[in-house]
Chains A and B, each alone.
Chain A
Amino acid sequence: MIEFRLQTHSGVAPYLQLVHQVRQALRLGLLHEGDQLPTVKDVASAVAVNPNTVLKAYRELESQGLVSPRPGRGTFVTGTLSDASLVEHNRLRRDLERWLAKARLAGLDEESIEALFVNTFRSGSQAESA
């Protein structure tokens, strides 16, 4: 069973944090197809979060095809993120390591590397959504 947590000053909407955590768990293989997600009430009381937020997160996951509700029983994992991508993880990680080495060679310190990465990542995802 997955355990949720919320970061208050992260700037990410609480429901998105829940979605990300489920996706992360799927990606890392902590959740498998057929696993049950905690009930809305359990999440609400464990995390002290509005039940509507949990519902919204579960609906979002549902629309992504990752979970589906079974009436009277709860919400179950029906999709997967890990299988395909886990294989790729190692290759991508090696690419990233090579890129990081290049960046250090170019004289960037840790902070600059992080800022560059975040900036590029943001503008990329904004261009995607626009």
Chain B
Amino acid sequence: MTAAIETAALVKRYGKKTALSDCTLSIPTGHVVGLVGPNGAGKTTLLQLAVGLLQPTAGQIDVLGHKPAEDPAQLARVGFVAQDTPTLSTLSVADHLRMGAKLNPGWDAYLAGQRIEELELDPDQRAGQLSGGQRAQLALTLAMAKRPELIVLDEPVASLDPLARRKFLQSLMASVAEQQVSVVMSSHLVADLERVCDYLVVLADSQVQLSGTVDDLLATHHLLTGPRREPTRWPSDWLVIEERHTERQTTLLIRSSAPILDPAWAVETVSMEDLVLAYMGLGASQHRRDGDLPGPRRAS
């Protein structure tokens, strides 16, 4: 099966500033992928590379098995909602749908019309007069009604109030359920991602720190609490992501596919938020990849 997004040693520099370095990643289709990371980690860069708005400095990126934006057919297969959801402010909502119909051979006019009706958008209103939430919904409608196989969303809800955010995610999930479309979305809001994503990519320090299905990631990460132990003497199949020691206690976040049998450890499951924070911290603390697992050093 072709990957939704597949990159190999992808590099993007703006002048001397490196936005993305040596990024190798394979995201399968059929998921709602959450892309998280601190500001400036390269999320927008990665997404814009995927939709062909940017060209890589080095390395390569394939989207659904093809070069991004290589021809109209490829453009038709990928929908994009850019950050701050730009629209043409002087055009009305109806004009936007008409534009979508003119510019996209696979345009689903019924779907578009139905969505606009459900959202109670006034077709005659100019896009410039819409609220942020309405504009985001209009942009999502445009991206959805072209019937893409993959839809890429760059911080679509960042500027929305909680109600508009919820509505946006509701209609996104409805579309995913109905159209079987793959989604890759970046966001800071882990609580939202926890609901809607089943695949997680953590980008920090312009590199991929973590990537996998949420189920796998949650099943293989454990939070251990126990009496203080000297570091660097962990079992060989543990990957220690984060360790904290007090005088009496040691707390570890580890990745291990084997069950934790040592009774001295109190084992807790981790949440997506724990994972995101821990791996985002990795990028900041200069850890580098080691072996085939990204991110932390392998305990010896």
Q: Which A residues lie at the B interface, using CB under 8 A?
A: 6, 8-9, 11, 13-14, 40-41, 44-54
Contacts and interface: CB of A to CB of B under 8 A. Distances in A.
Nearest to B259: A130
Contact of B177 (A9, A13, A45): A45
Interface residues of B, number: 22
B174 A50 contact: no
A34 B249 CA distance: 53
B197 A41 contact: no
Contacts of A14: 194-195
Interface string B145-179: 00000000000000000000010011111101110
The 8 closest A-B pairs by CB, nearest first: A45-B174, A41-B177, A51-B177, A48-B169, A44-B173, A44-B177, A8-B191, A48-B170
B91 interface: no
A13 B218 contact: yes
A61 B156 CA distance: 33
A45 B172 CA distance: 8
A52 B177 CA distance: 8
A37 to B, nearest CB: 14
A49 B191 contact: no
Contacts of B197: 50
Contact of B194 (A8, A41, A52): A8
10 contacts: A8-B194, A11-B269, A44-B176, A45-B173, A48-B169, A48-B196, A49-B196, A50-B173, A50-B176, A53-B195
